[in-house]
Structure 1
Amino acid sequence: MDQIPDCWISRNLSEKTRQKAEAELNESDERKAQAITELRQKIGEYSTENPTLKLPQSDDDAFLVRFLRARKYDVDRALKLIVSYATFRATHTELFEGVTLEKIRPILEHKLPFVLRERDEEGRRVLLFQPARMDPNLFNPMDVQTAFVYVLDGLIQDEETQVNGFIMVEDYTDMTMMKMMMFDQKLIKQMADLVQEAFPARFKGFHMVNQPWFFSIAWKIAKPFLKEKMRSRIHMHGTDMNSLHEALGKEGLPAEVGGERPAYDPAELIEFLRLANVQRPPAKPESSSV
């Protein structure tokens, strides 16, 4: 079997990231072992009390660590995140059921989203989304959202990403009113719920560039669904690309947003996902009490 390149899945935490995990997440070998045991016990207790919601298997230490890192080793908050994760996937089955790499391949080949091979200076995984690339004759925003979640499920297997988190750049160049209206309230709330409460990752910043005047319509819809912490991580650059480059480093961005890296090629991401054997959610329970 081909080995996944280190740029996508790290074999061990780098020393810099290990120190960050210790300083920011309260991680140590002793705390990790203790927290895994506590979380596994709480999952068992919760499952006994709430048999109608099927939680993910708790016998995989690496899987549990994702949730512990996302909640800085607060075991109770990690359990809450696992419950939200399972509930979201049971509720939004359209994002998961029957989804395969081959099904979403055309969307990824259309560069929705970009995922940069190299991390930024802080070790964060950088994703770029250009919504104007959507072709309603080929796929709709729900298809794109499905692909996005599939990609996240693959990327979060990497331990460096679990600790350092994600950065999102949304470039609205050539965006039209018609395409903007495709993002309705349900879709916006769904994504807000995912990144805030239902995925084991640290979303460290969202950078918006080249927003058209009608972007304010989508922002007005989205704002009530965003917690203050998330709002504080959203940066509006407008047409000032220098502002984006100062925030993220021009040398680390692709040519599509005025960066110094070559134009983005989705082939590496697709090959990574092929090798990664992306884990999909558990089957939908008959009902949910959460």
Structure 2
Amino acid sequence: MAEATDSEVPECWISKGLCEKSREKAAAELNETEERKKSALVEIREKIAEYSKEHPSFRFPREDDSFLVRFLRARKYDVERAFSLLINFTTYRIDHPELFEGVTLDSVRPTLEYCLPFILRDRDDEGRRVVIFQPSRIDPERYSHDSVQQAIVYALDALIDDEEAQVNGFILIEDYSNMTIRKILGLDQRLMKRLSTLFQDAYPARFSGMHFVNQPWFFSILWNIAKPFLKEKIRQRTHMHGSDFGRLHEFIPKRCLPAEVGGDRPPYSPDELLDFLSKVKVDRPPARQVTAL
């Protein structure tokens, strides 16, 4: 995924291990202990070896501890489910090379500079990474749907290196300010399906909730399009706030939110995220290392 360069990466982006609170959460919610981690790594490597013998043309992108642990954490140390997630993760990148091959910080910079997406520098009180997406910013004439997803995945591939994010997860705010019916009807269902498939079934991260704000009266059109792509668990973690930022702040504190959603921080700016991304190298295995069946 990502590795630090010579420049120092602030701990607000990539932690140096888990804090005490997160270690307790990992044990209580993810069944993580040092003993379980060691045995689970042995088990998942056995599955990788067995699968590789049966499918010699299939290549896993990495097999080091730090990489495999994120899959175990994402599935609460259920090795069977973690291994299935690893297969899905690898297969997704085989099936969608346009989202990964040749993608660099320079190529996604224009999209990130337009805050697609906007990712907060600080974690919330639960240690979660907060991602804000404003669909009205999508302009197909300036930013293709592929470029938007490339930017999202590139940023998350860097952030998932953070152990705090692996344990505590991500939370998403979708801000529908300035949305029009024309823009909603112009949204690509293919993009919605690809993103929902990726984050529900093919990404080693915990997504703990979605919060919609500033929805227009015609938001139901978009929701009815997107809802079939979402699993019931995700639907249950979805909250509609409209312009009631006070209710949003019951879930995410004002101190770490930007002004656009009633927070205490300055308005949307990509500078801190881009500075972080400039200090890490996002790992993208070459095609020869990730081969289809």
* TM-score band w.r.t. shorter chain: over 0.9
Q: Does 1:2 align with 2:7?
A: yes
Structure-2-length-normalised TM-score: 0.94
% same residue: 59
Paired residue for 2:19, among 14, 21, 27?
14
Kindly state the Cα deviation for residue 261 of structure 1 after the two structures are TM-superposed. Answer: 1.1
Match of 2:215 among 211, 214, 228: 211
Q: Which amino acid in 1 is paired with 2:263?
A: G
Report the Cα distance in structure 2 between the residues aligned to 1:95 and 1:180, rounded to whole angstroms.
23
Aligned to 2:210, the other structure's residue is in SS state: strand
Other-structure match for 2:28: 23
SS of equivalent residue, structure 1 residue 181: helix
Give the gaps of 5 or more residues in structure 2: 1-5
Say whether 1:42 aligns with 2:57: no
Letter in 2 for 1:40: R
Which structure is higher in RCO with an 8 Å CA cutoff and minimum separation 6?
Answer: 2
Equivalent in the alignment of 1:32: 37
**Hey, what's the Cα distance between the residues in 2 that align with 1:40 and 1:71?**
16
Cα distance in 2, alignment partners of residues 142 and 176 from structure 1? 21
User: Partner of 1:108 in structure 2?
Assistant: 112
Between 194-203 and 178-187, the greater mean CA deviation after superposition: 178-187
The answer to whether the 8 Å contact 1:54/1:282 transfers is no
Q: Is the counterpart of residue 221 in structure 1 residue 237 in structure 2?
A: no
1:112-123, aligned counterparts within 5 Å?
112-123=116-127
Deviates more, 1:258-267 or 1:163-172: 258-267
- Deviation of 1:217 after TM superposition, in Å, equals 2.0
CA contact (8 A) 1:53 1:86 kept: no
**Equivalent residue for 2:92?**
88
Q: Structure 1 stretches (4+) deviating beyond 3 angstroms?
A: 284-288
Letter matched to residue 277 of structure 2: L
| Structure 1 Cα separation of the partners of residues 260 and 285 of structure 2 | 33
Q: Distance in 2 between matches of 1:120 and 1:139?
A: 30
2:167 is matched with 163
User: Residue type matched to 1:33 in 2?
Assistant: K
One-letter amino acid matched to 2:150: T
Matches within 5 A, 1:114-133: 114-133=118-137
Contact 1:153 1:280 in 2 (8 A): no
Q: Give the aligned partner of residue 196 of structure 1.
A: 200
Unaligned runs of at least 5 residues, structure 1? none
Using the TM superposition, give the Cα deviation of residue 202 of structure 1 relative to its aligned residue in structure 2, in angstroms.
0.2
- Cα distance between partner residues in 2 of 1:139 and 1:197: 26
1:247 to 239, 244, 251: 251
Aligned to 2:262: 258
Bigger shift: 172-181 or 20-29? 172-181
Question: Residue type matched to 1:13 in 2?
Answer: L
* Partner-residue secondary structure (3-state), 1:237: strand
* RMSD, matched Cα: 1.5
